[in-house]
Structure 1
Amino acid sequence: MPRARAAVRLGAVVVAGVLIAACGSGGSGGSDDAGGDITLTVDLFGSFGYQEAGLYAAYEASHPGVKIKQTDTEDEQDYWKSLQTRLAGGAGLADVQAVEVGRIASVTSQQADKFEDLNQHGAASLKSSFAAAKWSAATTGDGRVLGLGTDVGPEAMCYRTDLLRQAGLPTDRATLAQRWSTWDGYLELGRQYRAKAPAKSAWLDSVGSLFTVMIGQEKERYYNASGDLVYDSNPAVKTAWDTSVRAARDGLSAKLDQWSPQWNQAFAAGSFATLPCPAWMLGYIKGQAGDSGKGKWDVAKLPGGAGNWGGSYLTVPRAAKHKKEAYQLIAWLTAPEQQAKLFRKQGNFPSSTGAIDAIADATDPYFSGAPIGQIFGEAAKAAPVQVLGVHDKNVADQITNALSEVERKGTAPDKAWSNARKGVANATG
C-alpha cells in the first residue's frame, strides 16, 4: 500500500506506532523464542490490510508455533527515517520490513548489504509469478532479489455520489469518465461543483494528491533511464505542477495534508467530493469513512489515461532474528491466492500475474458496486512501466510539500518551486 502506501497500501483505520528495539535484535535466523515458538515481527507504514483480511490468522493456523506481531507507522516518511536509523545501527529491526516502491531503487543500489538476498531462500522460483517490472525493480545489478512485491497502484478516481448529486452534477461513472476524460475537464467540473457545493465541501482533498496521480501517468518523472535527475527539465513534471497550481488558485482544494489527522477525519465529514485514488486507497477510505460511507462512494476511470501510484515490497533485513521463517511468511503473503483475497477484501491490486486474472470480475458493494476488478485491471495493463530513481520518493515529497505551501500559505508558485528545488538538492546530496 502512498502507499504516502503515500505512500501507503492501506486497509482499515491505521494505528500509528514505531517498532521498539526489543522487537527485533540482530542475530541469525532460527526458532529460538521461549518454548520453541516463534514470534515474527512485521513492521509496515500504514496498514497493508493483512490483519483486516485475516491473513495473519490464517497463516498462524497453518503454522503452529508461529505468531505474528505487526507494528506500523502511519506516515511513510517517518517510517523510512526510523528504518534508516535502525539499519545503520544494525538493531531494532523487524523480521519483515516494508519498503515503498519509491524507495526500492535506493535499497538495491545503496543498501543491498543491509538486506537478505531472497534467492538464498528459494525466491528465484517465484520470478514467473510476478509482473516483470515489479520483480526487476527489487533486483540488484548482480541478480540479488531484495524484496517480494505486494501490490501495485493502478489509478482511478474515487468520488462521493451524494455530494455530487447535491451540487447538481452527474453521478454515473461512465458519464463522469467522459466529462473528465482530460485534466482540464476535471478542473472545469470542479469549478461547477464549487459553485453549488454543500457547505464545507471542496472538489478534492489536496493539490498534492492531484500532482502525485498526474505524475503517476508518466514513464519518466524525476529520473531518466540513464539515472540522471531530470525533474526540473521534464515537461511532464511542469504540466502536473501547473495544473495543481491552477487547482489551488481556483479554490478547488480542501487544503488537507494527506495522512494527517485532519485528512483522516475529512472522509467521514464529507470535506471533499473526489479523491484521485490508486487501488490501495479503497481500503483506506473504508477504514476512515466507516460504515456510514458505504454506498456513498463510487469509482470511475481516471482523467488523462492510466497511471500508477505506489506499491510496496516486503524485505528481510540481514539483522532479522528469524530470516528463514520471515522469508516463508512473505512468500506466502505475496502468493497469488493471498494477493487475490487481499484485493477482494481491501482493494490492494495484485502484482502477482495469477492473482490479476483471478480478480478481473471483482466488484465492491461499499463503492456502489463498482467493477473494481475491471477498472483497476484495465488501468494496470495500460499504466507505463516507470523509471525509478535512487531518490524518487524524496523528490516527490519536496514537490508536494511546495504545493502545500501554495495552497495553504498562498506562497507564489515560482517561490514554492524554488523551495522545492532547494529541498531536492539537500535531499539528494
Structure 2
Amino acid sequence: MTVSRRKFLALGAGAAAAATGLTGCGSRSSLGASDELSMWTWVGSVNDDLIAQAEKAIPGFDNMKLAMTRIGTSYKTKVLTSLAGKSLVPDIVAINDDVATYFPNADQFVDLKTLGADDHEADFLPWKWKLGITADDKMMAYPMDTGPTALFYRTDMLQKANIDTDPAAVAELAPTWDAYIELGKKLKAAVPGSAITDNITGIYLYALAQQSKRYMTEDGQYIGDQDHIREQFDLAIRVVKEGLSANAQQDTTDADAVVTNGKLVAYNAAVWWAQLGPKNAAPKTKGLWRVTAAPGGAGNRGGSFLAITKYCKNPEAAFAFISWLETAKNQAQAFLEPVLFPSTPASYTDERMTAPDPFFGGQKIVDVFGESAKKFPGAYFSPYDSIIGAPIAAELVNVETAGKSPDQAWAAAQEQIERELTRAGAI
C-alpha cells in the first residue's frame, strides 16, 4: 500500500480536518485575559510547584502569567474541538505520545523553530526531539517526558527458582526475547501459575516499542504487514502458548490483581509502570522489586509534548515558558512528582534522580531507564499509527481469549487496517 509523499500529507490533512471540523469558519481568539497565557493539560502531566511559579509570572515576562486548566476526560477531543471553533483556543496545549496524529493540523500551531527552538535541540534526546517535527520540517511540539522501558522483576520469586537476582545477572540471563521465555518457563516451574506478562498485547506493544520502524514510512508507505511486525505478533502468541501470560486484559480489575496477588513476577514495561503497577497495586512488596535492561533491547513507550497554538496572544512568552519548564533542572523535579522521566539526558545525573529508590531495594533505577532512553534507536510514528495498531491488538486478544487461529487473526487485522486506511484516505 503506497501513496506519494505529497498526497500522503494532503490526504492526511484533509481526513483529519474532516474528522475534527478544522475546516470550519469563525473568529480567531485565544482563551484568557490579555496578561495571561492559557494552558490545557491533563491530570498528572506537570509539576505543581513549577506551574505555581509560572502562575505568578512567566520567567522573563513579568507582565504575563500562566492560567492552567487540567482536563480530566476526553482531553484530545476537547483540544481538537477548540481548534475547530477557532475561538477561545488555549495558548498552550499538552499533547500525548500520539503527537503525529496532530501533524495533519500543524497549521493550527506555531512552528517552534521560528521562536528559537533549534537553540535547545542539543539538550534533548535526538529521537525525542525528532518526534515533534512534521514531515515538512515544521517543529510543532516541544519535548516533555519519555517512557523508556526495562525489565521489572520480583527478587523473592526469582530466589524460589534459584536465580541470581542481581540486575546485571538477570540482564545477562535474558538478553533476548527467546531467553526471556526460557526464564519464564523456569520461574513457572518453581512458582506455579506465575507469569511474565500481563496479557498478550503487553508483549506485543513492548516488543514493538523496541523497533526502529513501525507501521508506515515517512513517504507514506504502509509496512505494517511486513516481517518486522509479524515477528512481534508471533512472539506475543508464543508467550501465551507457553502459558506465561496472566491473561489480565487491559482496563480490567485483573490488570491490578495479578500484580497484587504476585502472579506477575516479571514484566517488560515503561518507567511509568513502576508507579501504576507495583507501587500502586502491591505496596506491600516494597523492597522486593528490581529493574534491569529489557530483553530485546532498549525501547520507549509513552511521553508527551507541549505545543503553542497559532491563536496564542504572545508566542514569545509562551515559548519562554515551555523552554523553561522543560529544562534539565525542571525535568528532574518533575521526575519526583508526578514521576515523569526526562527527555533531557543531563537530568539523569541530577541528585534528585540518582537517589536510591527504597521500593526497588535501594536500586538507582535512573541508571537503567536512562541507558534505555539513550540507547533507544527511535522510530517514525505516522498520523495513522493508532488506527493501524488497534486491529492488531484486538486480534491478538482474540487469540488469547477466544483461541482464534494466529493466521486468521493476522489476516483479519490486515483486512481491517486496509479498510481503515482507505476510509482515512491514506491508501
Classify the TM-score, shorter chain.
0.7 to 0.9
In 2, the alpha carbon distance for the partners of 1:82 and 1:394 equals 20
Aligned to 1:365: 358
**Match in the other structure for 1:171:** 165
Q: Is it true that 1:401 corresponds to 2:402 in the alignment?
A: no
**Separation of aligned partners in 2, 1:87 and 1:287:** 38
User: In structure 2, which of residues 273, 278, 284 is the aligned counterpart of residue 281 of structure 1?
Assistant: 273
Mapping 1:66-145, distance limit 5 Å: 66-73=66-73, 79-80=75-76, 83-90=79-86, 94-101=90-97, 103-108=98-103, 110-119=104-113, 121-145=115-139
Does residue 57 of structure 2 align to residue 47 of structure 1? no
Code of the aligned partner of 1:241: F
Count of aligned pairs between the two proteins: 391
Partner of 2:7: none
Asked whether 1:416 is paired with 2:417, we answer: no
Sort the Cα spacing of 1:282 and 1:419 in 2 relative to 1 into closer, same or farther, 3 A: same
Q: Which moved more, 1:286-295 or 1:410-419?
A: 286-295
Give the equivalent residue in structure 2 for 1:152: 146
Partner SS for 1:203: coil
After superposing the two structures, state which structure 1 stretch, 362-371 or 114-123, moved more: 114-123
SS at structure 1 position matched to 2:302: strand
Cα drift, residue 122 of structure 1: 4.6
1:324 CA displacement:
6.3
* Residue number in structure 1 paired with 2:292: 300
Structure-2 separation of matches of 1:95 and 1:284:
31
Q: 1:161 to 1:403 in 2, by over 3 A?
A: same
Match of 1:337 among 324, 329, 344: 329
Give the CA RMSD over aligned residues: 3.3
**1:231 equivalenced with 2:224 (yes/no):** yes
Paired amino acid for 1:208: T
What is the percentage of aligned positions where both structures have the same residue? Answer: 29
- Judged with a 3 Å threshold, the aligned counterparts in structure 2 of structure 1 residues 119 and 266 are, in CA distance, closer, same or farther, namely same
Q: Amino acid of the residue matched to residue 178 of structure 1? A: E
Cα distance in 2 for partners of 1:39, 1:290 equals 40
SS at match of 1:407: helix
TM-score (norm 2): 0.79
Residue of structure 1 in register with 2:381 after alignment:
388
* Aligned residue identity for 2:105: Q
Larger deviation, residues 380-389 vs 360-369: 360-369
Q: Would the aligned equivalents of 2:201 and 2:396 in 1 still touch at CA under 8 Å?
A: yes
Aligned partner of 1:268 in structure 2 is: 260
Contact 1:245–1:406 at 8 Å: present in 2 too?
yes
Distance of 2:319 and 2:160 partners within structure 1: 51
- Number of the residue aligned with 1:32: 33
Give the TM-score, by structure 1 length.
0.78
* Cα drift, residue 246 of structure 1: 0.8
Closer/same/farther in 2, CA of residues 353 and 299 from structure 1, 3 Å limit: closer
Q: 2:203 aligns with which of 207, 210, 213?
A: 210
In structure 1, C-alpha distance between the alignment counterparts of 2:343 and 2:77, rounded to whole Å: 26
1:309: which partner in 2? 301
Summarize deviations over 1:385-411 as a string: whole Å, max 9, x none: 212223123323332222122112222
Q: Which runs of 5+ in 1 are unaligned?
A: 1-24
Residue 232 of structure 1, CA deviation? 0.5
Number of the residue aligned with 1:374? 367
Equivalent-residue separation in structure 2 for 1:388 and 1:155 (angstroms)? 18
Match of 2:3 in 1: none
In structure 2, distance between residues paired with 1:393 and 1:80 = 14
List per-residue Cα deviations over 1:363-397 (Å, max 9, x = no partner).
Answer: 42222222322212222232212122231233233
On the 8 A contact 1:43/1:94 being kept in 2, the answer is no
Given candidates 350, 355, 358, the residue that maps to 2:342 is 350
Shift of 1:325: 5.9
Change (3 A) 1:207 1:214: same
Distance 1:96 1:415, change over 3 A: farther
Deviation at 1:47, TM superposition (A): 3.1
Deviates more, 1:88-97 or 1:341-350: 88-97
For the 8 Å contact 1:27–1:320, the answer to whether it is kept is no
Deviation of 1:111 (Å): 1.0
Deviation per residue, 1:263-296 (Å, 9 max, x gap): 2454434341122122233333365236434223
How far apart are 1:208 and its partner, in Å?
Answer: 0.9
CA deviations over 1:342-371 (Å, ceiling 9, x no partner): 235555332224324547845422222223
**1:280-313: per-residue Cα shift (whole Å, max 9, x none)?**
3333336523643422321111112222223221
Amino acid at match of 2:69: K
2:182 equivalent to 1:185: no
Give the superposition deviation at 1:62: 6.0
- 1:206, CA displacement in angstroms? 1.5
Equivalent position SS for 2:359? helix
Alignment-mate amino acid for residue 182 of structure 1: T
SS across alignment from 1:204: coil
Q: CA deviation at 1:100?
A: 3.2
